[in-house]
Amino acid sequence: MEPARISRVDHAGLTFDVIDSGPLDGVPVVLLHGFPQRATSWAAVSEHLHAAGLRTYALDQRGYSPGARPLSRFAYGIDELVADAKALVDEIGTPVHVVGHDWGSAVAWAVAAAHPADVLSLTAVSVAHPAAFMRSMVSSSQLLKSYYMLVFQLPVLPERMLSRRGGLGERILRASGMDSRMIETFRDEIVADGALRGGLGYYRSIVRSAGSFGRTVPVPTTYVWSDGDTALVRRGADLTPQFVTGPYELEVIAGATHWIPDQHPAELADIVVRRVGSV
């Protein structure tokens, strides 16, 4: 029998949507999106991965899937997010390669650290190892770049700021490198669909997640950083090797913004394919 497609995963009383695509017998790659995007942000990268014979599972994570939007701001800790991703891996039924971008990268680092037997390799995009990121805040300009994380702790105001068409939130997204098409996707998939509060929950739970950020990663790992990222400085990349005990590579995409999967899908896919092929 051919393996069936996975379109949803039930876990902890929640239902998560999955975009399962590519060759049915392909090597499994789990894709974890960031904020403020959803699983569809991997579409262009996935096409290249499929051409290389890989099967992709793009998870609409907690707060984004309509059936997985807890109301509590404390329901979005890193341990809960890791457990969600692990539920998908268990549903797949075999060890997988994991790729994450932005918050999805933070989750991917934690999945690889907590469940190395289930992770064949890790490709982390934009966000450095969480412990390296935290240390970079006190040894570089990263704290200034991360001012928005403090703003997101406020109740109600961030939702209003980001929901207003043409407002400050939208201008910040444009300044980060989002183009008009990406902005419209954000408005449709995040604001109009009711996923904004859940996405902000990741930031609002960050303090209770701090104890889980320091775990080292033993699996083969590639970290992808771009020097045009307005939110993340180089210091996190420089500190990340301290937290990886497996084979490790740093890939720098010159001139790219934070939105690497959307704007450099072929280059990112080539990096993922090389990491997958190294195992």
> What CATH number does the domain containing 120 carry?
3.40.50.1820
pLDDT at 246: 97
Residue 47 lies in a domain: yes
SS3 168: helix
SS3 159: helix
pLDDT at 111: 97
pLDDT at 210: 74
Residue 151 lies in a domain: yes
**232, burial (CB in 10 Å: exposed 0-12, middle 13-18, buried 19+):** buried
Residue 32 lies in a domain: yes
Residue 212 contacts residue 239 (beta carbons within 8 Å):
no
pLDDT at 21: 98
Long-range contacts at 170-179 (CB < 8 A, ≥ 24 apart)? 172/148, 173/36, 175/230, 176/230, 176/231, 176/257, 176/258, 176/259, 177/228, 177/230, 177/257, 177/258, 177/259, 177/263, 178/259, 179/263
Residue 31 contacts residue 163 (beta carbons within 8 Å):
no
Residue 1 lies in a domain: no
Range of 233's domain?
Answer: 8-277
pLDDT at 2: 64
Residue 2 lies in a domain: no
Residue 69 lies in a domain: yes
Residue 125 lies in a domain: yes
Instruction: Indicate the number of domains in the chain.
Output: 1
H helices of the chain, where? 43-51, 78-92, 103-114, 130-136, 142-145, 147-151, 157-163, 168-175, 180-186, 196-204, 206-209, 235-239, 260-263, 265-277
pLDDT at 211: 72
Residue with tokens 């469940």: 115
Residue 34 contacts residue 101 (beta carbons within 8 Å):
yes
CA 250 to chain centre: 17
Long-range contacts at 251-256 (CB < 8 A, ≥ 24 apart)? 251/222, 251/223, 251/224, 251/225, 252/224, 252/225, 252/226, 252/227, 253/224, 253/225, 253/226, 253/227, 254/226, 254/227, 254/228, 255/226, 255/227, 255/228, 256/226, 256/227, 256/228, 256/229
For each of the chain's 279 residues, which pLDDT tens digit applies? 667 899 999 999 999 999 999 999 999 999 999 999 999 999 999 999 999 999 999 999 999 999 999 999 889 999 999 999 999 999 999 999 999 999 999 999 999 999 999 999 999 999 999 999 999 999 999 999 999 999 999 999 999 999 999 999 999 999 999 999 999 999 999 999 999 999 999 999 988 777 777 799 999 999 999 999 999 999 999 999 999 999 999 999 999 999 999 999 999 999 999 999 999
Residue 193 lies in a domain: yes
